[in-house]
Amino acid sequence: MNPSLLYLTQTDTTVGFLSQNDKKLSSAKQRNQNQKTLQVVDSFKTLQKFIRIPTHHKKFVRHAKNTTVIYPNEIAFRVVAQNSKHQNFLQKFKVIYSTSANKTKNTFDLQYATEKSDVLVYTKDEYQETKASSIYKISRFKKVKIR
């Protein structure tokens, strides 16, 4: 797997662009290069290599399904659903930047997404736009729902 490529795949939440190059994702979405991009990890063990979960929120983070968490260091991570097809794909990378496969502020367009992608990852299911993940921002003791 080439880390500089842009992958189009059905994630555990919606159709997404994935790459280890966050600038390439921003370019594909036609958005500000300085906007932070969420990272998806294959397991909690991998997540612990990048951030420290505040003790007050450990249970919430461990049990949150399809939820992106913005940590006190302002980095956003989502742990992919265990035993999912998407987790099988992610295990090749461990951590990868991810965003929905559409232009910023637009809905999913398969033609646009395939034109912008270097690699199309197919499963037996078709690409389908579903509900995006919930987003929470946590601090040492507070938790705020963003989406």
- pTM score: 0.88
Residue with tokens 């659903």: 81
In the predicted structure, residue 52 carries a pLDDT above the cut 90: yes
Round the average pLDDT of the chain to a whole number and report it.
89
Taking the C-alpha atoms of residue 123 and residue 144, their distance in angstroms, rounded to an integer, is: 35
In the predicted structure, residue 13 carries a pLDDT above the cut 80: no
Burial classification of residue 67, based on how many CB atoms lie within 10 Å of its CB (0-12 exposed, 13-18 middle, 19 or more buried): middle
In the predicted structure, residue 92 carries a pLDDT above the cut 90: no
pLDDT on residue 86: 82
Taking the C-alpha atoms of residue 36 and residue 23, their distance in angstroms, rounded to an integer, is: 10
- pLDDT digits 0-9 by tens, 108-140: 888 999 999 999 988 777 887 777 789 999 999
Per DSSP (E only), the strands in the chain are 7-10, 15-19, 39-41, 67-70, 76-79, 95-100, 119-120, 134-138, 143-145
What are the C-alpha distances in Å from 127 to residues 30, 49, 51, 100, 101? 21, 31, 31, 12, 10
Taking the C-alpha atoms of residue 28 and residue 116, their distance in angstroms, rounded to an integer, is: 6
Average pLDDT over residues 3-25: 89
Going from the N-terminus, what domains does the chain have, and what CATH number goes with each?
7-145 (3.90.870.10)
Cβ–Cβ < 8 Å for 24, 36 = no
SS3 147: coil
